[in-house]
Structure 1
């Protein structure tokens, strides 16, 4: 572990920081040279090598009050919130923090500030509940929307350079699915933004803020599994990507903030996988959202902010077709409405291009200075990935898959399991950000509620831990074999098992809409993985571990038999 008092000046060049690490004296008696540093260096987290588990694969032990897995927007907010409260905190991340996928968010962050017209958090609450198709958890939505104005003001105080109005207030643009006076007052301007690079600005602001606090960062460490003991979480097992060493990070509290599996190749939903392997459920995975506007052929998202600034969707006949499907909101209807409308236009033969398989997003009717100041990133993205000059021609767009669902939590960020029909808190385990499902988004997320979700519930996790624990509380012991499956013998066993016997056979009965899986791998091969025998409907990886018999998935049993027209 290495102390850096001036690490902030190195944040733009992680390679430079890594090279400097080897020039500083180390206090870790581990033999590993992983990229692990403490921002301030006033505290020293205990670390020792244990060879009692495997002589071929020694394990490095660490102990903290709390460990945060992930360093995106929610992870950084939770980590420095805990450090600010005096907790000895570790942050495990497979990427340098400013490379996390929060950096790619374009549109903005919703809050009822009322800078453009009168607004109220209750109207924001109504829009979010309605946008979720009435399937969001209203206590969590209440908390998020009520805390939204304070969260944005907090970011402003941290130095986030929001776009401004002429009188110096935070600029707020229109966004899809937003209204005033419970849907009766017209379009709301509720989305605070930094041009069209809001996520980039937010992530760098939170990272800069985190450098003020004494937090131990395990950068380029891959989280493998949760340390579960008697239904409680006592930390995480991580792999140092640089040298392959295994690290057992014990902590009284663990916060999973690993994001979702869409967009960047680095976004692999590792937290959801860890939760699944621990025998805990996930929620709302059956929901699939489609973002209306992605560049045709490339899949890069084009923010709803384009339509909030005055952009319009047109078909091959030059019609502003959204007037047919949403006469009031038009191009600023919610994402599900716009995506369905675009798809109907294409299916009815009014699509654009030689194949008539997309529509156009038109921006060239907007003043060039507005495009340059409010949408500079979109102008650049359209030129790179579509070869389009947005000041002269439209962007070809098509709906694309977006993420929904995740680890079930309450509004305090505490992970839940379902026992005897009741929600039960998993002691020591928290989740927030897009890895979690509070569920403030229900079946359909409103644009610009994602960043709000990150900062509000990242802070909520830190506050919840502060309420229930004290810095320095004793970390419960764990069994030594909790890491065995990730050492030499455990990995070798898996490598020998899967290529030979781990084949899974899929049988689909379209008439009954059933799905069955078979595996020739006996259950005993999986006991070391600490996987519970839960139902197969939510855990595809776990389903493969069941005995060799056909097991209908309850997830498919609830589907009605498909109609001939659908099959056709």
Structure 2
């Protein structure tokens, strides 16, 4: 029920029920593989409170859960001698007659054009958070998987729902984990007042992320933001001084980050934070079986929109989804591969893509700078498609994106090197980013309600009569075609969502 309520009732309840059934098995599996889950005194795996939970259910490994899970999975893969093709950049998914054919890539180390074929494909390329300027994401997380699938004709779902994590470290955007608030950290405004009781009188700092992020922005708009020390960005404080005795054991990474990047001792000083783009609730349209509209193509992780998270993801559910549905996708792809063969290569499409890379992209010489286009896109998204949204800024965003697309056709790639040509890589990334920004903005404009992370100032209420439905975006040369699909409701009817 926490996940359903957290999704603001946009999550498909059949998928959520299956998800919560699958998660415990994968927690125990990774435990057996050596993941150092934090423990209770009796030796059982510990669970901590997180935002919008009615019961402490978030498993964790100190405050480096993602790191430890990743290391565990990588070590397991190495045990079985699984080969990794590192430093390959995917450019296109080739379908033939609606069937999986191949994936084209550039080997960045050699500059060679490399085609991969297989019986099955799993998209697991992460989200699209670097469409925004102030973000917790790695700089490489630009939505390439969503963009590649979209251009191949695979629909995307619910892309307008972008999560803004309440506590991005100012000015870098580095994540200050929700665990800091779960362990008792307070949010303070410029008057050193704890303000979350005004917005979430029961859960305070551990309300859902969308609620806390809006509260911070409202405090800043009301003139109670902190100004000056970190450029133009106003912020609030995260106060952990009263839990200083917990920091070294429970939150060691937080204290290290605050010290390393801001010179702040979190034991004795306040930490500057501001909402930062953190998660893409939308993604490739899928279901709890991880299948897509293309047979043999599966999807997992943030690249997928299984409709578990709906309009707002709960903390810890991303790692849980990667484990539970990553396992489902792996099994489904393996079973598919057993009963299918590698198709004949579509040589014509492969040749066209190779020509597009070397004869079109690399030789463009219109004078536009790809890094400047990317910067302008991110500024546009922060300004017009952020925590708060309104019709006119959304329309302006669409106009800006159209203008950026025109500029994109006139880029100059100055680096002509064949190896590690990052400028060429950026050119592909920005192309995908422009497509996704258009989908996000168009979906946000058409959804004339507020739900979860999508908050319309001009339509501040949730509209269950008209918008208990998913936004489906399908590619066309003239821009995304938006259609809708009803949310699956099994047991729990929408009610007022408060914390």
TM-score normalised over the length of structure 1: 0.64
Q: Whole-Å Cα distance in 1 between the matches of residues 247 and 330 of structure 2?
A: 39
Structure 1 unaligned regions, length at least 5: 1-125, 180-187, 416-424, 524-537, 545-552
1:382 aligns with 2:258: yes
Aligned residues: 394
Q: For the structure 1 residues 520 and 209, does the alpha-carbon distance in structure 2 shift closer, same or farther, using more than 3 Å as the test?
A: closer
| Cross-structure match for 2:51 | 176
| Cross-structure match for 1:19 | none
After superposition, give the CA deviation of every residue in 1:453-492 in whole Å (9 maximum; x if it has no partner).
Answer: 1111110112223444417x42121321221134357621
After superposition, give the CA deviation of every residue in 1:171-208 in whole Å (9 maximum; x if it has no partner).
Answer: 211100101xxxxxxxx211111111111111110011
The alignment yields a C-alpha RMSD, in angstroms, of 3.3
Q: Whole-Å Cα distance in 1 between the matches of residues 143 and 225 of structure 2?
A: 34
Q: Give the secondary structure class of the aligned counterpart of 1:273.
A: helix
Given candidates 124, 132, 135, the residue that maps to 2:7 is: 132
| Cross-structure match for 2:277 | 401
Which protein is richer in strand relative to its size?
Answer: 1
Q: Whole-Å Cα distance in 2 between the matches of residues 246 and 408 of structure 1?
A: 29
Asked whether the equivalents of residues 159 and 443 of structure 2 are also in contact (C-alpha less than 8 Å), the reply is: no
Q: For the structure 1 residues 440 and 560, does the alpha-carbon distance in structure 2 shift closer, same or farther, using more than 3 Å as the test?
A: closer
Q: For the structure 1 residues 356 and 276, does the alpha-carbon distance in structure 2 shift closer, same or farther, using more than 3 Å as the test?
A: closer
| Cross-structure match for 1:232 | 99
Asked whether the equivalents of residues 163 and 193 of structure 1 are also in contact (C-alpha less than 8 Å), the reply is: yes
Q: Whole-Å Cα distance in 2 between the matches of residues 497 and 371 of structure 1?
A: 52
Q: Which has the larger radius of gyration?
A: 1
Asked whether the equivalents of residues 346 and 356 of structure 1 are also in contact (C-alpha less than 8 Å), the reply is: no
Q: Give the secondary structure class of the aligned counterpart of 1:407.
A: strand
| Cross-structure match for 1:477 | 344
Asked whether the equivalents of residues 143 and 436 of structure 2 are also in contact (C-alpha less than 8 Å), the reply is: no
Q: For the structure 1 residues 489 and 435, does the alpha-carbon distance in structure 2 shift closer, same or farther, using more than 3 Å as the test?
A: closer
Given candidates 445, 448, 462, the residue that maps to 2:330 is: 462
Structure 2 unaligned regions, length at least 5: 130-136, 378-383, 385-390, 410-431, 450-456, 459-499
Q: For the structure 1 residues 149 and 410, does the alpha-carbon distance in structure 2 shift closer, same or farther, using more than 3 Å as the test?
A: same
Q: Give the secondary structure class of the aligned counterpart of 1:177.
A: coil
Q: For the structure 1 residues 510 and 287, does the alpha-carbon distance in structure 2 shift closer, same or farther, using more than 3 Å as the test?
A: same
Q: Give the secondary structure class of the aligned counterpart of 2:120.
A: strand
Q: Whole-Å Cα distance in 2 between the matches of residues 559 and 461 of structure 1?
A: 31
Q: For the structure 1 residues 373 and 560, does the alpha-carbon distance in structure 2 shift closer, same or farther, using more than 3 Å as the test?
A: closer
Q: For the structure 1 residues 559 and 413, does the alpha-carbon distance in structure 2 shift closer, same or farther, using more than 3 Å as the test?
A: closer
1:371 aligns with 2:244: no
Q: Whole-Å Cα distance in 1 between the matches of residues 71 and 294 of structure 2?
A: 32
Which protein is richer in helix relative to its size?
Answer: 2
1:107-186 pair list within 5 angstroms = 126-179=1-54
Q: Whole-Å Cα distance in 2 between the matches of residues 511 and 240 of structure 1?
A: 40
| Cross-structure match for 1:558 | 446
Q: Whole-Å Cα distance in 1 between the matches of residues 177 and 437 of structure 2?
A: 38
Q: Whole-Å Cα distance in 2 between the matches of residues 332 and 489 of structure 1?
A: 49
| Cross-structure match for 1:205 | 72
Given candidates 191, 197, 202, the residue that maps to 1:328 is: 202
**Higher relative contact order (Cα pairs below 8 Å, separated by 6+ residues):** 2
Q: Whole-Å Cα distance in 1 between the matches of residues 444 and 211 of structure 2?
A: 26
Residue 381 of structure 1: CA displacement?
Answer: 0.3
